[in-house]
């Protein structure tokens, strides 16, 4: 999927994009889905597979499939949707471990219900919510020593993107001891924008660059600009700019 796809979804609109790393011959190890539950309700999910060879893409696909199975039959209230998401992650963890391939996958999920959202994540695929004026309403923290150092105030977020150990994650679906971090339930104002993305985006663009790109304008235009900006950074790094060619996928969502 190399083009931006725009889809009416959960009383709003979602735009999706995925592309494998530049000059990469093996499969894209990212998987993504929009899973409708009921009218105005659904989940956004991105998984970024680990393990190399075919193991990474198999793990990410298994995680997305498990979540779609768990949540796609309809969840009639907030508690039911939360429980379905957590059950889907547990099912994915069991299935991926049973492959015995040494594979794992990071996952980021955002539930949408009644103009509210709630993020969940495992690893360093992440979620971000911004208002139209650029106010950061939420950003998840990567499950890694570097991510925890940023959260504790020991490392500046702008410096973390250059850290040599940024990609040493401590939590993924398929790993022993996997755990889900569930964020707060957040009311979405009109024109708020939700982003769910693999680390291929966050490794090449700083949060303020992302927010400036997605916070306003028609959502398909924002998605096109975000994909273009990240791809340009991967292909042509500038001085003192982050640069890491990688598979990159994202979903943007904005309520109507």
Cα-Cα end-to-end distance for the chain:
25
Give residue 165's pLDDT band: very low, low, confident or very high (50, 70, 90). Answer: confident
Tokens representing 113 are 């219900």
Q: Are 108 and 127 in contact (CB under 8 A)?
A: yes
Say what the pTM is: 0.94
Average pLDDT for residues 4-31, to the nearest whole number?
Answer: 94
Question: Above 60 in pLDDT, residue 253?
Answer: yes
Average pLDDT for residues 78-101, to the nearest whole number?
Answer: 94
Average pLDDT for residues 157-183, to the nearest whole number?
Answer: 85
CA gap 107, 215 in Å, rounded: 23
User: CA separation (Å) from 85 to 4, 73, 197?
Assistant: 26, 12, 18
Degrees (nearest 5) of the Cα angle 226, 19, 106?
90
Instruction: Specify which residues 138 forms β-bridges with.
Output: 129
Q: Rounded to 5 degrees, what are φ and ψ at 248?
A: -140, 125
Give residue 2's pLDDT band: very low, low, confident or very high (50, 70, 90). Answer: low
User: CA separation (Å) from 44 to 58, 98, 197?
Assistant: 19, 25, 10
Domain boundaries, the chain: 5-255
Query: What pLDDT is attached to residue 152?
Result: 79
Helix (H, G, I), strand (E, B) or coil at 15: strand
pLDDT above 90 coverage of the chain, percent = 70
Q: Which of 108-117, 162-171, 242-251 has the lowest mean pLDDT?
A: 162-171
Across the chain, mean pLDDT equals: 91
CA dihedral 53, 57, 58, 64 (to 10 degrees): 170
Instruction: Specify which residues 38 forms β-bridges with.
Output: 41
CA dihedral 190, 12, 107, 171 (to 10 degrees): 20
| CATH code reported for the domain at 5-255 | 3.60.40.10
Instruction: Specify which residues 197 forms β-bridges with.
Output: 126, 250
């Amino acid at each position: 999927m190399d083009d931006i796809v725009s889809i009416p979804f959960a009383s709003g609109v979602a735009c999706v994009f995925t592309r494998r790393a530049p000059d990469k011959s093996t499969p894209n190890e990212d998987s993504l889905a929009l899973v409708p539950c009921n009218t105005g309700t659904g989940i956004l999910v991105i998984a970024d597979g680990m393990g190399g060879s075919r193991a990474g893409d198999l793990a990410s696909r298994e995680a997305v499939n498990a979540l779609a199975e768990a949540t796609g039959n309809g969840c009639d209230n907030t508690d039911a949707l939360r429980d379905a998401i957590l059950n889907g992650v547990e099912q994915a963890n069991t299935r991926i471990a049973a492959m015995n391939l040494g594979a794992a996958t990071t996952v980021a999920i955002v539930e949408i219900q009644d103009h509210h959202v709630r993020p969940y994540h495992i690893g360093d695929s992440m979620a971000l919510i911004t208002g139209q004026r650029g106010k950061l309403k939420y950003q998840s923290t990567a499950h890694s020593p570097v991510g925890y150092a940023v959260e504790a105030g020991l490392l500046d977020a702008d410096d973390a993107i250059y850290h040599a150990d940024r990609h040493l994650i401590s939590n993924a679906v398929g790993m022993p001891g996997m755990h889900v971090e569930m964020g707060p339930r957040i009311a979405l104002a009109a024109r708020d924008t939700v982003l769910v993305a693999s680390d291929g985006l966050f490794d090449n663009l700083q949060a303020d660059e992302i927010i400036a790109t997605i916070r306003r304008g028609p959502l398909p235009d924002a998605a096109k600009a975000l994909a273009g900006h990240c791809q340009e950074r991967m292909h042509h790094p500038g001085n003192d700019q982050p640069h890491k060619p990688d598979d990159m996928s994202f979903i943007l969502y904005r309520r109507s």
